[in-house]
Each structure stands twice: as structure tokens, then as C-alpha cells.
Amino acid sequence: MDKPLKMLAFDFGASSGRAILGTLSDDKLTIEEIHRFSNDPVQIRGSLYWDILRLFYEIKQGILKCVNSGHRDIESMAVDTWGVDFGLLDGDGNLLGNPYHYRDPRTDGMVEEVFKIVSREELYSRTGTEIMKINSLFQLYSMKFRNSPLLREARTLLFTPDLFNYFLTGVKATEYSIATTSQMLDAEKRTWAVDIIEKLGLPKDILTDIVPSGTVIGTLSPEIAHELGAREIPVIAAAGHDTQAAIASVPASGEDYVYISCGTWSLMGIENDKPIINEKSSRLSFTNEGGVNNRICFLKNIMGLWLVQECKRQWDREGDNLSFAQLESMAREAKPFTAFVDPDDELLFAPGDMPWKVKEFCRRTGQPVPESKGEIVRCIIESLAMKYRLTLDSLEDILGRRIPVVHMMGGGIKDKMLCQHTANATGREVVAGPVEATSVGNLMIQAMALGRVKSLGEARRIVRNSFPTAVYQTQDAGAWAEAYERFKKIVQKKV
């Protein structure tokens, strides 16, 4: 019997964060939430920022609570976050201002400005990354375009999880999975696309060396260890991008499946040994992201439950403090297939009054306008399921084969209506679980880095042993197939 291995995972989502204690013993992983906190972007004078120092304070609180609850013997820790965003350091290693939020409007118009210098075709063929205005390359170019003093003073760029790792250890390094979200990495060579960076007049010297997912990059600094009463434990760059951490937890025993990492965003795709970069993948807006063991996750970014979250925020502001469970119950009572939205429409991207935006999309596309909360939520959930079907059709078109199973994981699977609707829309068996997929994947990558788990296949076997899954079968296939044809026409004619 092996000695229990204790690890600490910090998982940051776009609206909340958590510290999860994981204990691996006898081929089974158990998890315990040690600390949970909100992640609240701050809007100041028209700009949207992450409150990065408060978030680092919450990391320290998580370590402190772990120590004070009798778990000073943790063997490692790792941080995962959302992609694309970054902090800049000056020559003394000090942070230059609060990092911008990817929904900040400063990147409006920057894709077109970049294309004046580097074509869409060249940019996609080199990076294999979906062209999105939120990507790090366009964020950096917006700073150059506006002659930002922060960019002039910057000596180091660190993506959000790498920035937290630096705060914890003093080590500056870029983890592979998070680097692949930037649109600055050569997908084939897996190194910085220096020539493209130079063409755009961006400083290449601020980028650090890239380390593989699962690298032990340092130990908790003596100062922080002393402050928190902790040991100088190893800090691991697991998979800094939360999507890749979640994918590592897919409890699949084979290879023939599509995954949906379901939360604020929905990331839907397959794992592959090499990037897929061709005219069709570019036209259909698929992206290649690096994962564990240098695998490539060929996927599509879909706006996820952000739409429901934003609706809830608006209704909370209006005094109707309803839980997500209550909203799901109300949606179940609403009439099906009344109206659809395209979850990725530009109208729905920015924060603010999402119920109005959903109604406005329906008005613009000549559909009945959902009025009640239940109707609005049902419209969103059905639309997400339909977008998954559209993405699956595109993926199978690129691959030239049918994929029989959909694995859904992450906090979004708490919405059983979404899981069932996904099975209905795709006509596939849906296996849902685990809920805490990102934290579980983070912990399993740590266990691999420490040598306790020997392979990704073994890690997934342990996940299957440790966490239950729910299986959803297709229902009402005919009605969903008919509604899907309506959805495709609405998406095609949107304004």
C-alpha cells in the first residue's frame, strides 16, 4: 500500500476560484474543497481588469487554510486559469499594472489592423490558432497600436497561471498549454513564432522559455512559506490552461470520442498527436491547443454558460436572486424550440443585460421573442446544444469519420437539462463527469510530475475509479432534427 499523496490544486474560472485538496491512495483520488472565492473583474474608466493581487491573496488564503486544517504535508501545488491574458513585469520583476480582462474592448478592430501586416492565412497556418480578437497577440498589438507606456517598460510577459507561479516561486517560465492560447506559438515547431512577432513590431525578448506541461518549476518561496506556516513545497506548471487540465480528466478508456469542457466557455474537440491545419479547419474556426504529453487538442471555442451566468447577474441586480437550479426548473416548464440564439454572436460577447441581448438577437432574426426567465434560459440551453451539434458536424467533416460518444465534464454538467439536450441534439450517447474536471486533471498531472502516476492512460483509469458519471441517451430525435434545421438557418441569416 502506497503512502497517500496529498496535492493542492488552484483552479481559476472566469467568475470564481477554488483551492482543492487531492489525496491519491490505492489508485483512488479523493478531493476536498479547502477554499472558494469569487473572481470579480473590475471596470474602471471604460477598461476591464482582473483584480490580480486579490486573486493572489486568495491563493495564499487557500494555502493557509490547507495548513491550518492539518494538511501541512502536501507534496505539491499547481495553478490553472483561463487562457490568453497576461501580466507585464518591469526590469526589477515588478508587475506593471493590473492585467486586462480578455473582454476589454481595447482589442476591437485589432484583428483587421494585424491583417494589414500578416495575412489571416499566414497567421492561422503558422499558429493553428483560431483567429479571435481576445488572443494575446491582438492584445499586445493593441498596446503597440496605442503606444502603451506599459509595453515600452515591459521586460517580461507572463500568462496568468505563469504569473501566479512567479509570485509563488520567483521563477519566470511559460508553460506549454497556456502558450498555445496566445496566437504567438508555431504549432508545428512548438516554439515562439518569432518572425511573425517581429513583423508586427512586438518585443520578442519579453517572452520566456517554454516548459512542458507537468514541469516542476520551483518551490514555494521562503518568504511565503514562513508567512503561511507552510513547507517550501514544489510548485508544478501542470497544465496552466484550465481547458487542458480538464481534458486530462476525461474518464475515457479509448480514443474515439469528442469532449466538451463545459463551463463559462464550452471547449469541444478531440485529442490528436499532431496539429490539424488546413483550409477547412481555418474556415470552420477550429484551433489547435497544446496539452499534456505534448498532445494536440483540436477544438472549437464556443461561448458556454456565460450567457446564463450573465442573465443571472442581471436578474440579481434587479432583485430577483434565483439559483441556477431554480432557473433550470423554470426553463423545463417553458415551451421548447420557441427561439434560438447563436451563442458566439458578437452581440452576446460583452458583459451587461444579457436578457435584453437575447431578446434583441431574436428580434433581429425575426423569431418569437422569449419574455419570461424560463423562456430565456431555455432558449440559451437549447441553442448551446444545437451549437454542439453544429460543431460535431463540422468536426466529423474535417476528420472524415463519425464519432460515437460525447464526454462532457466540468461545472456545466450540473445542468442536467443541458446534458440531456446535448444527447438529443447530437444523437450521441453523452457521458457526463467529473464535475470538478479541471481540478481533478490538475491534480492528476501533478501526480504524473511527481512520478506517482506513470501515464495519462493510468491517470484516466484512476479518474474512472474515483468519480461517478451519468449517461444520457438521445430522446425525441425527430423533433430535435427538425429544430436543428431551423437553428442552422437562423445562425446563417443573423445580422
The span from the CA of 165 to the CA of 115, in Å, is 34
For residue 228, which phi and psi values (nearest 5 degrees)? -100, 0
For residues 174 and 158, is the Cβ–Cβ distance under 8 A? Answer: yes
For residues 160 and 175, is the Cβ–Cβ distance under 8 A? Answer: no
Catalytic pick among 104, 242, 342, 415 = 242
Pairing verdict, β 16-25 and 5-12: antiparallel
Cell numbers for 125, please give them: 497556418
Residue 242 catalytic?
A: yes
Name residues whose C-beta falls within 8 Å of residue 173's C-beta, 6 or more positions apart in sequence: 162, 165, 208, 209, 210, 211, 215, 217, 237
User: What's the half-sphere exposure (Cβ side, CA atoms, 13 Å) at 25?
Assistant: 8
Q: Which residues pair with 186 in a beta bridge?
A: 191
CA distances from 13 to 1, 37, 433, 447 (A): 35, 10, 18, 22
Residue with cell 475509479: 465
For residue 347, which phi and psi values (nearest 5 degrees)? -60, -30
The span from the CA of 242 to the CA of 240, in Å, is 6
The span from the CA of 159 to the CA of 467, in Å, is 31
The span from the CA of 409 to the CA of 73, in Å, is 30
Cell numbers for 451, please give them: 512520478
Q: In terms of DSSP H, where are the helices of 116-174? A: 120-127, 136-145, 149-153, 160-169
Which amino acid makes up residue 98?
A: N
The span from the CA of 46 to the CA of 41, in Å, is 12
Pairing verdict, β 215-219 and 234-237: antiparallel
Name residues whose C-beta falls within 8 Å of residue 206's C-beta, 6 or more positions apart in sequence: 88, 154, 155, 156, 157
The span from the CA of 483 to the CA of 338, in Å, is 10
Known catalytic residues?
242
